Structure 1
Amino acid sequence: MTDDVDDAPRTPASVLLVGLDGFGRQHLANLERLAARGRAELIAGASLTDPGPEVRGDIPVHATLGEAREAGHRPDVVIISTPINTHSDLAREAMDMGADVLLEKPPTATLAQHRELLAHAEAAGRRVQVGFQSIGSHALAAIEQLLAAPQAPGGIGELRAVSATGLWLRRQAYYDRAPWAGRRVLDGVEVVDGVVTNPLAHAVRTALHVAGARRAADVDDVAVELHHAHRIEADDTSIVRLRTASGLPVTAALTLCAPEDQEQDPWVTVHGTEGQAVLYYTRDELVITPNREAPQNAGDAGQPRTAVHGRTDLLENLLDVREGAAAALLSPLADADAFMQVLEAVRTADEPATIAEEHLVQVDSGSERHPVIPHVADYLARATKAPSTFSSLGAPWAAPPATDGELRLGEQTLATLRTGEDISPTDSPRPFLDRVRTRGGVVVTDQQPLDHTWHLGVSAALQDVDGTNFWGGRTYTRDAGRYIWREDHGRIRAAEQRLEHDVAALGGGSRLEQRLEWLDHRGTALLAEERAVAVVGLDDRAEGVDAWALDLSFALTPAVERTVMLGSPGSNGRVGGGYGGFFWRLPAVEDATICTAEAEGEEAVHGSVTDWLMYSGRFGSEHGGGEATLVLASTDADPWFVRCSGYPGVGMSLAWDAPVAAEPGLEVARRVRVAVVDGRLDRDQAAALGERLIEEPANLPAEERA
């Protein structure tokens, strides 16, 4: 409602409400408030179901809007709070009565209907306000002011992305309340009643508003991923990804299948280069969290701050525009055009994929029954931060992501070859090994984790190749002395590859050979890479150890006729931050043991140069896992990069504290072998395994091994 109350005498606008039950009751309460202020008078209703005089008072109620018109009603404003499939016809009928319209969301069930309704409103000279109540929030103006001053103290910098998250729960009763609930089509008529287009449509519309997307021309490349766990036609767990015409990514990750104790107010996140702002739009609460490390946010300015803003009621705004007290509608029909592009993408997409019972937890029964998707909050969080999709994140109930095959030992799959084509541009897309696992099935990799969404299983990447970031995320620069967001992300793609299985020289394992191109953010090739990856069987000489070995080597040469400098945050001035080259992102780990022959513990091992390193613990406990050990071995003189306390990961640092020059015609080559072991090893066992990995080259054809 409006904060400023104007008690000047006015002639109340006459209002007719179509749809008195359901959400119509909210309109009745609001009309009672406005009537007390002399702003509006409810003269009649039209509804197939009459909530009774205790709810609607003593106004006449007609079965249809047409009957109300025949009865002589000529309202100033018609409020339409009816099923989606009725909106278009009723809105036109209301305008033909000479009324302005407050039309509940979504405005129509199809994009074509929306365009027809826009044309009808223009021809009739009538105003149509769409009931996206969140657009009346004064927090939106606060966000605009925040983005207008990106360098102000306590600010969040330049806008780089917008996302919306909805984590709701709906029971069977929600879908039993009406024949159209949860339907895509009813009796041949479009309905489109899914999570994106109805219950959490406000989240999508608000995100589009913040991103500056109002009209069709403001939106490009809308893609949707639709699922349902409820036994309905429409979607209840979905992701929407699009880019605005200016290239700004907008992502919405929404579900109606949250655990009961996790249902939250939905929120829109404004991702800035120097922080973020989160709007909980149902309560108009804005939480601003600047990056403390930004120069303008030093000291207390880096602390989160919260403000609760007011809201302008959309009906009241419509009345103000009619009376000349306001210049424009806050949520006009024309501004819903971008949202309707999303709705149309949902409507015309393939039917939502059913989430199988094996991936659900069914809670309660009868009308209280509701399915819960385990870990859905984590998937939504990762999806909006990356941004990404359920498929790319590897949700077990989603379609498989883009792959180039599998690495096997005999008939057992031990890793998946991801193309990386589905990775966000700011996470520097590249091929990687996903779901690497022990022979006993313990998964020992993670990809697109919430703390660093650009960490991708097992891969090779560098943060600075002649100024291009092939690692993902923010870039550490010497000039800034910190990490900053830049439009400098490259991508690595496979130009050629050959994959063999059941290779006798590998003990029945797989061998992958790839030729890769490292392309900068303009698409120019900077490096050419030759990569070889092998899965190697380890025989019974490793007594008592159930293990296999991953052998990975890569060689980099310039793809241009000049020297190309290979760098890292460490080479650009960040002490101890020399990551880059080979990197293995681990899943969550408990009770970790990290050691080499000379040292033990994260701090002591990090930055050391030794022939082997052991990383052991219980992996993946949050989503189910087990105990496993990695023994990494290499004769290259690169320091080990080790993380455990902040996040779990291990790698070899190609440019620890100084850049490496890649000269034309000369290779910068590295090789690492990793034993993947079920259970824990002690230091002596790890040492024996590490020595064996160094002594026995594994990924060469048998005739080349001597």
Structure 2
Amino acid sequence: MSGGDSLSTRAGRVVGMLHEGRDEPALHAPRPFLHPVLTPGGRTVSDYAPADHPWHRGLGIVVSAVDVPGQEDPVNLWGGPTYSGARGYVQLPNNGSQRVLARRCADDAVVQRIGWCAADGSGFLEEERAWSADTLRLGGVEWSRTTVRSTWVNVSGGPLAFGSPTTAGRPNAGYGGFFLRLAPFFDGGRIIAPSAGGAGPVGEDDVMGTTHAWLGLQSAGASVLMIPSADNPGGPSPWFVRTSGTPMLCAAPFFHEEMHLDRDAVLRWEWSMLVADGEVQESAFPAAGTRIGVPA
């Protein structure tokens, strides 16, 4: 992992380092990502190239399977092997890339123009991705927030279908979307979800694949809160989350069903990631998640 540029608030607080990913191994599906992702106190909550899944890269947008016209296999932009039905996970020659074609700063955001490419280099989707950062005090907690606004345009000449291992037949493996690989100290952390009373802890099996307006994680060292926009395609997002062994958090819109994008059609997305120091109180999660998740 080389260099990177700092992503900062207007006041100059660094919330993470933004990498284009152009030097990453081809089998890891090179792509832009944010790492480290930092709390207001400077603690790193993200992980990079962990031994169990060396293609995991901090915070970013990843899709494990995209059906693209003219490609024999689904394009894998997650990295590593592809789930292929009865064959299980197989390393195919289908690991694509998200290539940063241009970069500019506008309205306190870092804006990237990105080409999504198959393994043979052919482009099938063009994206404009804007990364911005600020600090908030909500629910009595100081949070650092990273916001990603993304516009996808299908340039493949035909329809695209975005899926997951679950849409290919593997239960409870619907990962792909807005993804954060968490630091090792989140192993064994608590998952916090909305409830009738505000918020409460839930188990992995109880929340995997379910839809919520937001989802949070607590650990002794830091807390995180991920919030998809209520205006995102497909309605409330299903979630892929683990806190045992391989801690990760993913707003996974393609968990259960493929999402289709016609030729020349457009999808618009927005996600927020809030991070705080320490194990914040459960009441702080809905106080932040409800306010941030309200459409503008």
The TM-score, its normalising length taken from structure 2, stands at 0.89
- Tell me the residue number matched to 2:70: none
- Deviation per residue, 1:310-335 (Å, 9 max, x gap): xxxxxxxxxxxxxxxxxxxxxxxxxx
For the residues of structure 2 that align with 1:489 and 1:591, how far apart are their CA atoms? 31
**The structure with more helix, counted as a fraction of residues:** 1
Which one has a bigger Cα radius of gyration? Answer: 1
For the residues of structure 2 that align with 1:586 and 1:602, how far apart are their CA atoms? 15
For the residues of structure 2 that align with 1:579 and 1:423, how far apart are their CA atoms? 21
How far residue 485 of structure 1 moved from its aligned partner, in angstroms, is: 0.9
Aligned residue runs from structure 1 range 300-699, under 5 A:
392=1, 401-403=2-4, 405-409=5-9, 410-466=11-67, 467-480=74-87, 482-500=88-106, 510-539=108-137, 542=138, 544-588=140-184, 589-598=186-195, 600-618=202-220, 627-634=221-228, 635=230, 636-695=235-294
Aligned CA distance change for structure 1 residues 543 and 490 (closer, same or farther; 3 Å):
closer
Aligned residue runs from structure 1 range 243-258, under 5 A:
none
Q: How many aligned positions are there?
A: 278
Identity of aligned residues (%): 29
For the residues of structure 2 that align with 1:591 and 1:463, how far apart are their CA atoms? 26
Do 1:616 and 1:630's aligned partners in 2 also have CA atoms closer than 8 Å?
A: yes
How far residue 553 of structure 1 moved from its aligned partner, in angstroms, is: 2.5
How far residue 412 of structure 1 moved from its aligned partner, in angstroms, is: 2.2
- Tell me the residue number matched to 1:114: none
- Deviation per residue, 1:562-606 (Å, 9 max, x gap): 101111111111111111111001010255110211361222122
How far residue 432 of structure 1 moved from its aligned partner, in angstroms, is: 0.5
For the residues of structure 1 that align with 2:274 and 2:214, how far apart are their CA atoms? 11
For the residues of structure 1 that align with 2:45 and 2:250, how far apart are their CA atoms? 14
Matched to 1:486, the amino acid is: L
Aligned CA distance change for structure 1 residues 562 and 591 (closer, same or farther; 3 Å):
closer
Aligned CA distance change for structure 1 residues 522 and 414 (closer, same or farther; 3 Å):
same
Give the SS at the match of 1:630. strand
How far residue 549 of structure 1 moved from its aligned partner, in angstroms, is: 1.2
Matched to 1:597, the amino acid is: P
For the residues of structure 1 that align with 2:29 and 2:181, how far apart are their CA atoms? 15
Matched to 2:21, the amino acid is: G
Do 2:109 and 2:133's aligned partners in 1 also have CA atoms closer than 8 Å?
A: yes
Do 2:104 and 2:110's aligned partners in 1 also have CA atoms closer than 8 Å?
A: yes
For the residues of structure 2 that align with 1:450 and 1:591, how far apart are their CA atoms? 18
The TM-score, its normalising length taken from structure 1, stands at 0.38
**The structure with more strand, counted as a fraction of residues:** 2
For the residues of structure 2 that align with 1:411 and 1:577, how far apart are their CA atoms? 38
Matched to 2:144, the amino acid is: W
Give the SS at the match of 1:492. strand
Matched to 1:628, the amino acid is: A
Do 1:597 and 1:683's aligned partners in 2 also have CA atoms closer than 8 Å?
A: no
Gaps of 5+ in 2: 68-73, 196-200
Give the SS at the match of 1:610. coil
For the residues of structure 2 that align with 1:526 and 1:674, how far apart are their CA atoms? 28
Gaps of 5+ in 1: 1-391, 393-400, 504-509, 619-626, 698-706
Matched to 1:694, the amino acid is: G
